[in-house]
Structure 1
Amino acid sequence: MELEGEYKRRYALLLAARDSEYVKNVYGGYFNVFVAAFGEEEEEEERWDVYRVVDGEFPDVNEIQGYDGFVVSGSPYDAYGEDNWILELCCLLQTLDSMHKKVLGICFGHQVLCRALGGKVGKSNSGWDIGLRKVNIVKDFSPCSFLETMAETPPALTIIECHQDEVWELPTGAEVIAFSDKTGVEMFVIGDHILGIQGHPEYSKDILNNLIDRLLCQDSIETEVAKEARTKLEIEEPDRKCWQEICKAFLKGLWNGYPCIKQ
């Protein structure tokens, strides 16, 4: 993929899922969902590209050099799988880590980042986590962590979750900076260039509701699990704005430029 034009920053989405019909029809695809969540309103400020890694599309070495950061999306695939594209993605993530490129992993992306850099992932012993989950932010992490400069970050934030796998063991040098009553590693960092988030800061409630419909049709989840998730969605709101500001702050190095204030 050739990079053209002059932009202050360039980012790439490593898309590990194929567009659902719903997201395609309503949002034009997952790429648009991510750019709306993490991109800037002033389009000339930055450029976003997409590599559909799930279909074997990867940036080459020359293209990697031109990007300021990468986002790895969620996926219906297992991060511990042996599919060729997952193994190639792990190799790419190892390269990005060695180059100290900023990489943000979301859900599957969070897990595959962990795997690629030496950690362990697998099925959760407590089953699916679907719906809204309160995530506790760790306050006594190392001074190098970017969240330290975001003094107004609340001690707990609600995020949309949809996963049955989780991080079992962190890579060497990684640090847990958020956890929940269901998942021990909701967010981790390595230095100032790797950030994994188990939940979905980019999801809206309608996207999750459609995903629940599809999981029910596939008999992947039980009716009671779906019902409980929908009930929470009706009475609570995720802290999407704050999560998105955290992600932007990480990707763009503008910690003080993105104060996080819970509404």
Structure 2
Amino acid sequence: MSSVLYVCARPERSAADAEHRSFRRDLGLATLDRVDLLHASLETVEWQRYDGFVVGGSPFNVTDVVKSEAQLAVEHDLERIAALAMAGGATALFTCYGIGVVTRMLGGEVTMAHPERVQAARLRVTAEGARDPLFGPSGPSLSVFTAHKEAAAETPPGAVLLATNDACPVQAYRVGEHLYATQFHPEASPQDFADRMAVYRASGYFDPEQYVATESMVLAASVQGADLLGRFPALLTR
């Protein structure tokens, strides 16, 4: 059976635990191994034996001017996973913060010009996305949860744009056949995202004075990220 590793970059334990559960559920896996990069490096697990990686979000930003040693170590390990996937040694899906790490690694620009507050965003699947095995079955558009402060300025060198919208032009891309990166959070159900709001209430992803209204909007949303994640295990390389 294919093996998948959930890679966590969240300092907040409750949010990390919930994200792990969400990925396991939507991937359709009975178990999902885990490494928390803020507490252990990749070297603490046999990371190269995995044929799949799913990388969760983080309150870190690639554009942070001052970075802790812990954040620098996280970004280094994420780049190692991306390099493995680009070489065809595994299939990886980077989400939110992770797309910034991959964009910079490819020589692209990460900017604060395309933020999105907590919302269910409607994305357009590109012509390349329609032919992609992960995005194609979603149809011409899909609704997903977004909440981020930075984004890729444009599709980075070597990447193929898979999904876009007006607010944030680079919502998802693929590099080669085995590396995917999304600005959005495919793993979050409405309840998952509402629970995450409580953890990051003061982190600038939404107006805390509009907490109740924003939570109501999230809980009423219909999103298709789970369908996309359900197709990921079929893409694994080994």
The equivalent residue for 1:10 is: 3
Segments of 5+ residues of structure 2 without an aligned counterpart are none
Secondary structure (helix, strand or coil) at the match of 2:184 reads coil
Larger Rg: 1
Alignment-mate amino acid for residue 56 of structure 2: S
2:150 is the alignment partner of 1:165: yes
Determine if the alignment matches structure 1 residue 32 to structure 2 residue 21: yes
**How far is the alpha carbon of 1:176 from its aligned partner?**
0.6
In structure 2, what is the Cα distance between the partners aligned to 1:178 and 1:241?
16
Distance 2:200 2:12 in 1: 15
Deviation, 1:211, is: 2.8
Q: Is 1:239 aligned to residue 224 of structure 2?
A: yes
Aligned counterpart for 2:48 among listed residues 59, 62, 65: 65
Distance 1:242 1:176 in 2: 19
Partners of 1:230 and 1:167 lie apart in 2 by 27
* Counterpart mapping for 1:1-263 below 5 A: 8-21=1-14, 23=15, 29-40=18-29, 43=30, 48-59=32-43, 63-81=46-64, 82=67, 83-100=71-88, 101-123=90-112, 125-140=113-128, 145-147=132-134, 150=136, 152-218=137-203, 221-223=206-208, 226=211, 229-251=214-236
Q: CA deviation at 1:203?
A: 0.8
Question: Higher relative contact order by CA 8 Å / sep ≥ 6: 1 or 2?
Answer: 2
**Post-superposition shift, 1:218?**
4.9
SS at match of 1:233: helix
Call closer, same or farther: CA 1:219–1:16 in 2, change over 3 Å: closer
Structure 1 runs, 4 residues or longer, greater than 6 Å off: none
User: In the alignment, residue 228 of structure 2 is paired with which amino acid?
Assistant: W
State whether residues 51 and 59 of structure 1, in contact with CA within 8 Å, keep that contact through their aligned partners in structure 2: no
- Aligned residues, how many? 232
Aligned pair in 2 of structure 1 residues 191, 232: CA closer, same or farther (>3 Å)? same
Unaligned runs of 5+ residues in structure 1 are 1-7, 254-263
Cα distance, 1:247 vs. partner? 3.3
The 3-state SS of whatever aligns with 1:169 is coil
Instruction: Check 1:227–1:250 CA distance in 2 against 1; reply closer, same or farther (3 A cut).
Output: farther
Letter in 2 for 1:133: A
Assess if the C-alpha contact under 8 Å between 1:120 and 1:169 holds in 2: yes
Which 10-residue stretch deviates more, 239-248 or 172-181? Answer: 239-248
SS at match of 1:9: coil
Give the 3-state SS of the residue equivalent to 1:157 in structure 2: strand
TM-score by length of 2: 0.81
TM-score, length basis structure 1:
0.74
* Aligned residue identity for 1:14: V
Distance in 1 separating the partners of 2:206 and 2:167: 17
The Cα RMSD (Å) is 3.0
